[in-house]
Amino acid sequence: MRATISEFGPVLLSRILDLSETQAGIVAIIFKYCDDNKLPLLDLKDFKKILQFITQEGKDEIQAEYGRISTASTGAILRKIIEIEQQGGDLFFGEKSFEVEDLTRIDENGRGVISVLRLTDIQDRPKLFSTFMLQLLAEVYETFPEQGDSDRPELIIFIDEAHLVFDEASKALLNQIESIVKLIRSKGIGLYFVTQNPKDVPEDILAQLGLKIQHALRAFTAKDRKAIKLAAENYPSSEYYDTKEVLTQLGIGEAFISVLNEKGIPTPLARTMLRAPMSRMDVLTSKELKEVILGSKIYYKYKDNLDRESAYELLNNKITQIKEVEKKQLEREKEQKSRASSTRRSTRQDPLVKVLTSATFIRSVFGILKKVMK
């Protein structure tokens, strides 16, 4: 799955990079300049090239149209880009962009297709993981139309190992996720964060979740007991259970469940037996995984990484043209200086001619004097 820099936009990209207000303003200028000059921003090399351009060859052009840009700020932005790049962002940013409508495919029998996004390659890169998930949620939110209170959801998204989304997230990034979580339900989208402990999810986001399913929590230390007490307080009060006590007694296949009723009010907690999944609880072998991937109808749609002409190539051409113009200008200036120097030399008298001229002048003067004296 890939996405382009342009699809992120200046605001989301700045929040992902955790930029200051000044730096975010520079990113906005970059996007505006690229839009005005039809320079596609597709991958990280495009963005790094435009950063180089606005501080070197295109500095005067940018300053004339958009104002002065600090090289210290562009250097800081570049370091943030390199940080994302080192976490594999160069593989994530690019084309062909993933189309979120492919998550709502149906089969020949009219049944929905379950899509599994395998993210094992980036689970040890929390910043890239949170970047990916936020971009996916933002794209879903922007793409799907408003539905209001529909009878059935258009799409359900389960985010496993959800703590990875929040571990390295900045305050700005958390605010963005919170806004999406609040608004996305009106699009008919259900969003589930799957993690081992409720404290892995920030409180402001946890408060937006209507359905809560809590499996057993174990208390091995004093810190664990405090965590269980806090977890119990996240659920509606129950006159049937001592919530913090029962949380440590739930067995395999048991869970506390609370949902929203038809009036949007959380229902009382219910200790529930869950049906076991009808699947093999094991990791797919390499052969099985390959068969699943090759059997996907959208595999061939996204398998190739496109590298069409974009800001990187266009700016390289522009830089080459600028350097050629500067070279010709220097040659003209050198030629003009050479001509001016030659002109100055031609107006000077030859030393021998100068001596003879002076001698003739002296003789003339003496001749006049002699005539007067006579």
Q: Tell me, what's the pLDDT at 287?
A: 92
What is the C-alpha to C-alpha distance for residues 264 and 210, in angstroms, rounded to an integer? 8
* pLDDT at residue 199 is higher than 70: yes
Helix (H) or strand (E) holding 345, with range, is: helix 311-346
| Side chain identity, residue 71 | T
Q: Is 177 helix (H, G, I), strand (E, B) or coil?
A: helix
- Cβ(57)–Cβ(6) below 8 Å: no
**pLDDT (mean) for 149-169:** 83
Residue from 147, 119, 148, 120 nearest 135 by CA: 119
What is the C-alpha to C-alpha distance for residues 360 and 351, in angstroms, rounded to an integer? 14
Token couple for 52: 């180089």
Which tens digits make up the pLDDT trace of 266-291? 888 889 999 888 888 888 888 998 89
Residue with tokens 């799957």: 194
Q: How far is CA 318 from the centre of its chain?
A: 25
What class has domain 100-276? Answer: alpha beta
- Cβ(312)–Cβ(47) below 8 Å: no
Whole-number average pLDDT of the chain: 81
What is the C-alpha to C-alpha distance for residues 314 and 334, in angstroms, rounded to an integer? 30
Q: Tell me, what's the pLDDT at 372?
A: 45
CA dihedral 37, 43, 44, 47 (to 10 degrees): 10
Which tens digits make up the pLDDT trace of 311-343? 888 888 888 887 787 778 887 878 777 777 766
What is the C-alpha to C-alpha distance for residues 266 and 209, in angstroms, rounded to an integer? 10
* Residue ranges, CATH 3.40.50.300, the chain: 100-276
Report if pTM > 0.85.
Answer: no
Q: Tell me, what's the pLDDT at 351?
A: 55
- Cβ(313)–Cβ(53) below 8 Å: no
| Side chain identity, residue 89 | G
The full length of the chain comes to 374
